[in-house]
Chains A and B, each alone.
Chain A
């Protein structure tokens, strides 16, 4: 469905952020993308959704394909129309619009009024908590409520693929659980594929079928999620399941092995 092939991204003509990233998101699946801060996860999502240019970033090499079409040079609004919607990190809302308006804006690329009305109803079924907040100016919502609004807004575009950027960050464990349940539900009921960027590796891997781990603008390891969960290095760096503080990154110890992988 979505495939990235050797994608390279340069910011401001000098800063090389993605150094040849290749990934696949198959139809109807959940794929997670893990990695430390600054690994290039968000940049990868922005490259897909086409909003990189607004921050002087540019895909300089490689191909991004969605359902057989190259989308690397498209305008963001056309990419939304094709069915890819990004839920940006930080739960960004149109703060001065009401909750209801925020949800409605999500359907901007569509023109089937009756269907849109039905979809709005459905959004409030997914997120019943939002129903009472409909008329509230969204800038005053709490973190969990914001997360629901941004996901509802994204759903309004009827995406085939949803790019979720760190939905769990800064939420309480209970809320995280709830949000991830909804993500799973969306995936099953709407048949929406989900590309999930997360710091919370444990929960992301238990939700997804496949996972990629990025470091320094490269994919350093990838595989089926249950395999990744068993992987010693992942356990150590992202799940915190071994002696603390001994090794700080994949790079320090696995250099030769990675090299072998890159070259051979």
Chain B
């Protein structure tokens, strides 16, 4: 039982990161109806910028974080401006392919930066573990989990109560109608890309606490995509739940099955879960129920 709980806790914490990646993709999808693969790169570059400012230049952590958010925000803004804005009004699949192209381009840049090596960010969260009733709780991950949940809360509140949030929800429903009520849809797209880039970067930085930055960081974006799909693509709570489920499933299946089959179950579990859930619920757990009056 206690091993199970142990896997559950570790999974939950990992799931928090997945949920953040998922949310960054959901944000973009909600507003622009574009499924973005590029967010994996935003995550990787978020981690890299943090390494650059914190590890390489040795700036204080708060300043490093702010600079990192600024840099990644600019990156998201530029991607939207140069690659996705021309796609407004074009078929959605074309926009999807553009995000794929963005992914490939930045993947090349990322590999160039790494030069085949790894980048270790110096310790910025405690690496010790707390022992609570025989369970090991890694402090650093616990902190980043709590922070991710806080990010969730902030995004949720922003959506529900702020003016920008209202504009975003309106834009998400109907672009033409939003414009006719005086909302600048183009500005909304920019805002949403900047915000979602920062969210992806936070996920990247959390990951950098656990794993050194290496070449397959951007692939975390694919997991985020799975999380978003499982959650229903348009739902923030869905992404949260999807992320946590994925993290927990990964850890439990790996914990119990890895000793038997000799490792690697973790990666399979994610995709298997996607398949099963999408078979049962094709629109995801929280896919938007279209309001239709009869």
Residues of A within 8 A of B (CB): 49-51, 53-56, 75-77, 80-81, 85-86, 88, 92, 94-97, 101, 104-106, 108-109, 137, 139-140, 153-154, 157
Q: Is B181 an interface residue (CB 8 A)?
A: yes
Q: Is B176 an interface residue (CB 8 A)?
A: yes
Within residues 203 to 257 of chain B, which ones have a CB less than 8 A from any CB in chain A?
Answer: none
Known: A108-B181, A153-B181. A51 touches B163 (CB 8 A): no
With both chains docked as a complex, state the minimum distance between the C-beta of B289 and any C-beta of chain A, in angstroms: 10
**Sample of 16 further A-B pairs with CB below 8 A, known A51-B179, A94-B169:** A49-B180, A55-B176, A76-B180, A77-B183, A85-B181, A94-B170, A94-B177, A95-B291, A96-B173, A97-B166, A105-B167, A108-B166, A108-B167, A108-B170, A108-B182, A157-B181
Q: Is B293 an interface residue (CB 8 A)?
A: yes
Within residues 156 to 177 of chain B, which ones have a CB less than 8 A from any CB in chain A?
Answer: 163, 166-167, 169-170, 173-177
A96-B293 in contact (CB<8A): no
A77-B184 in contact (CB<8A): yes
Cross-interface CB contact of B89 among A56, A86, A88, A154, cutoff 8 Å: A56
Within residues 114 to 143 of chain B, which ones have a CB less than 8 A from any CB in chain A?
Answer: none
With both chains docked as a complex, state the minimum distance between the C-beta of B163 and any C-beta of chain A, in angstroms: 7
Residues from chain A with a CB closer than 8 A to the CB of B293 are: 139-140
- B38-78 interface bits toward A, Cβ cutoff 8 Å, 1 = contact, 0 = none: 00000000000000000000000000000000000000000
Cross-interface CB contact of A54 among B89, B163, B167, B170, cutoff 8 Å: B89
Residues from chain A with a CB closer than 8 A to the CB of B170 are: 94, 97, 105, 108
Residue among B166, B180, B288, B291 having the largest count of chain A Cβ atoms under 10 Å: B180
With both chains docked as a complex, state the minimum distance between the C-beta of A224 and any C-beta of chain B, in angstroms: 30
B: contact size bracket: 20 to 34
B184-A75 in contact (CB<8A): yes
B291-A140 in contact (CB<8A): yes
With both chains docked as a complex, state the minimum distance between the C-beta of A78 and any C-beta of chain B, in angstroms: 9
B181-A105 in contact (CB<8A): yes
Q: Is the interface of B mostly helix, strand, loop or mixed?
A: helix
Cross-interface CB contact of A104 among B166, B179, B180, B182, cutoff 8 Å: B166
Cross-interface CB contact of A97 among B163, B169, B176, cutoff 8 Å: B169
Query: In whole angstroms, how far apart are the Cα atoms of A77 and B177 in the complex?
Result: 11
Residue of B nearest to A80 (CB): B182
B169-A108 in contact (CB<8A): no
Query: In whole angstroms, how far apart are the Cα atoms of A108 and B178 in the complex?
Result: 10
Query: In whole angstroms, how far apart are the Cα atoms of A232 and B181 in the complex?
Result: 39
With both chains docked as a complex, state the minimum distance between the C-beta of A139 and any C-beta of chain B, in angstroms: 3
Cross-interface CB contact of B177 among A75, A92, A137, cutoff 8 Å: A92
Query: In whole angstroms, how far apart are the Cα atoms of A139 and B289 in the complex?
Result: 11
A81-B182 in contact (CB<8A): yes
B182-A77 in contact (CB<8A): yes
Query: In whole angstroms, how far apart are the Cα atoms of A118 and B183 in the complex?
Result: 21
Residues from chain B with a CB closer than 8 A to the CB of A104 are: 166
Query: In whole angstroms, how far apart are the Cα atoms of A77 and B181 in the complex?
Result: 7
A54-B175 in contact (CB<8A): yes
A137-B89 in contact (CB<8A): no
Known: A56-B89, A108-B167. A96 touches B291 (CB 8 A): yes
Residues from chain A with a CB closer than 8 A to the CB of B177 are: 88, 92, 94
A76-B291 in contact (CB<8A): no
Residues from chain A with a CB closer than 8 A to the CB of B169 are: 94, 96-97, 101
A108-B183 in contact (CB<8A): yes
Residues from chain A with a CB closer than 8 A to the CB of B167 are: 105, 108
A105-B89 in contact (CB<8A): no
With both chains docked as a complex, state the minimum distance between the C-beta of A124 and any C-beta of chain B, in angstroms: 18
Query: In whole angstroms, how far apart are the Cα atoms of A101 and B162 in the complex?
Result: 11
Residues from chain A with a CB closer than 8 A to the CB of B166 are: 97, 101, 104-105, 108
B179-A139 in contact (CB<8A): no
Residues from chain B with a CB closer than 8 A to the CB of A153 are: 181
22 sample A-B contacts, Cβ–Cβ < 8 Å, listed by A number: A51-B179, A53-B89, A54-B89, A76-B179, A80-B180, A85-B182, A88-B177, A94-B177, A94-B178, A96-B169, A96-B173, A97-B170, A97-B173, A101-B169, A104-B166, A105-B166, A105-B183, A108-B166, A109-B181, A137-B291, A140-B291, A153-B181
Residues from chain A with a CB closer than 8 A to the CB of B183 are: 77, 105, 108
Known: A96-B169, A104-B166, A105-B170. A85 touches B291 (CB 8 A): no
B180-A88 in contact (CB<8A): yes
Q: Rank and list the top 9 A-B pairs by shortest CB-CB distance, nearest first.
A: A139-B291, A80-B182, A109-B182, A76-B179, A77-B184, A94-B173, A54-B176, A108-B182, A95-B291
With both chains docked as a complex, state the minimum distance between the C-beta of A39 and any C-beta of chain B, in angstroms: 21
Residues from chain A with a CB closer than 8 A to the CB of B184 are: 75, 77
